């Protein structure tokens, strides 16, 4: 750590610094208090009556258990205002952490599968997007995600909707859900369609499965960013490919610990990924379910791996570098963030 800095100053710096986030699921970011509110107004029974109890329920045995509870909570989202409220409250939470820009995943497959219309989802989330910008100055874009467990046919349905949804702030297509048993190659058609529509392609890969899953996301789906990707370290050629092409990894340490991908924070490969020269971004994934925040991810990362202030700010800027903003937009945001970092250093770092 920078010898000039004490822990208190660095904590203050992290709390106040501007941030961007690229790997955040709308449904996974909803706080327990909001889930209970939505369950109540739709007459849905969740296995808890208070936010504290729901936090206890969110102690996941493994990745499948997490998907099971995620899917159950999603049933609380029924009408336009449910989607609006859930998204609005999460934007409020992000703004409170000084997150200024976010690319947010949606899980429409799970909603479509239970009969919710695409337009219902989009009307709600896009209304919240406008309100978030108006009320908190936060800019957002959406990346609907295919839940792989629902199969390639449903994936194609989502892709067709996505290709026509730019007006709602949709910029691309993602794929998530359990990697085991659902290889990326089966979803090539959906991702081809998105490429033809000129939109972005991202994929969760290398989280519960190893390098083959990441290679599949790159080759079959033409993904330009990888969700998690932490297991790339098992394949040197893959690490070299990711480094040379500066394909970003959306790394989410607390999520990996909660789903059992990593044993704990100290054994998480974040530091190795950075040392390998990869374009690493830090993210909260499902903060409502993993009881974390983006600020907390930075605080834990700094503390666990003894990151310097320069390493912290570089990690924060990586989110802008790896974002789907235009080249001019990235330049503008980066300059703005750098100026704020400088100002904060002046206030917090004794000379
Ligand atoms: Zn995710």
pLDDT given for residue 2 in this prediction: 52
Q: How far is CA 78 from CA 37, 71, 226, in A?
A: 13, 13, 30
pLDDT tens per residue, range 229-245: 999 999 999 999 999 99
339 CA from centroid of ligand 1 (Å):
31
Instruction: Write out pLDDT tens, residues 168-187.
Output: 999 999 999 877 788 888 99
Assign domain 7-343 to its CATH architecture: Alpha-Beta Barrel (3.20)
Nearest Cα neighbor of 325 from 99, 121, 172, 134 is 172
Q: How far is the CA of 183 from the centre of ligand 1 (A)?
A: 16
**Of residues 66, 85, 80, 225, the one with CA closest to residue 143:** 225
Q: For residue 28, what is the enclosing H or E element?
A: helix 26-29
Q: What is the pTM assigned to this prediction?
A: 0.94
Question: Residues 283, 22: contact at Cβ < 8 Å?
Answer: yes
Are 251 and 228 spatial neighbours (Cβ–Cβ below 8 Å)?
yes
DSSP of 67-110, one letter per residue?
A: HHHHHHHHTT--SHHHHHHHHHHHHHHHHHTTEEEEEEEE-HHH
- Helix pair 294-305, 309-321: axis angle to 10 deg: 140
What is the pLDDT averaged over residues 310-324?
Answer: 97
Distance of CA 16 from the midpoint of ligand 1 (Å): 25
Catalytic residues: 207
Phi then psi dihedrals of residue 118, to 5 deg:
-55, -45
Question: Sign of dihedral through CA atoms 84, 87, 91, 92?
Answer: positive
Distance 43 CA to ligand 1 centre (A): 28
Task: For 36-90, write each residue's pLDDT tens digit.
Answer: 999 999 999 999 999 999 988 888 888 788 888 888 999 999 999 999 999 999 9
**Ligand 1 center to 31 CA (angstroms):** 16
């Amino acid at each position: 750590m920078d010898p000039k800095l004490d822990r208190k100053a660095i904590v203050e710096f992290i709390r106040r610094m501007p941030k961007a986030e690229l790997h955040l699921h709308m449904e996974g970011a909803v706080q327990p208090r909001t889930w209970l509110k939505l369950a109540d107004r739709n007459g849905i029974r969740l296995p808890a009556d208070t936010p504290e109890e729901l936090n206890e329920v969110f102690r996941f045995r493994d990745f499948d258990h997490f998907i099971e509870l995620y899917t159950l909570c999603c049933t609380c989202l029924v009408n336009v205002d449910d989607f609006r409220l859930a998204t609005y409250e999460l934007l409020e939470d992000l703004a409170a952490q000084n997150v200024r820009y976010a690319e947010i995943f949606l899980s429409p497959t799970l909603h479509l599968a239970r009969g919710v219309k695409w337009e219902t989802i989009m009307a709600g989330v896009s209304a919240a997007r406008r309100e978030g910008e108006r009320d908190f100055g936060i800019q957002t874009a959406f990346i609907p995600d295919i839940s792989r467990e629902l199969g390639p046919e449903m994936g194609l349905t989502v892709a067709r909707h996505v290709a026509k949804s730019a007006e709602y702030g949709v910029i691309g297509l993602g794929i998530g859900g359990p990697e085991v048993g659902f290889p990326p190659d089966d979803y090539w058609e959906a991702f081809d369609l998105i490429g033809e529509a000129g939109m972005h392609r991202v994929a969760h890969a290398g989280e519960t499965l190893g390098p083959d899953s990441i290679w599949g996301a790159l080759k079959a789906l033409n993904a330009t960013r990888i969700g998690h990707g932490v297991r790339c370290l098992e394949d040197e050629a893959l690490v070299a490919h990711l480094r040379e092409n500066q394909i970003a990894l959306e790394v989410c340490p607390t999520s990996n610990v909660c789903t059992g991908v990593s044993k704990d924070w100290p054994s998480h490969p974040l530091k190795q990924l950075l040392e390998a020269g990869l374009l690493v971004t830090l993210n909260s994934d499902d903060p409502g379910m993993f009881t974390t925040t983006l600020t907390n991810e930075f605080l834990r990362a700094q503390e666990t791996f003894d990151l310097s202030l320069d390493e912290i700010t570089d990690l924060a800027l990586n989110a802008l570098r790896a974002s789907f903003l235009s080249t001019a937009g990235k330049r503008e945001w980066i300059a703005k963030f750098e100026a704020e970092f400088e100002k904060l250093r002046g206030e917090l770092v004794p000379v």
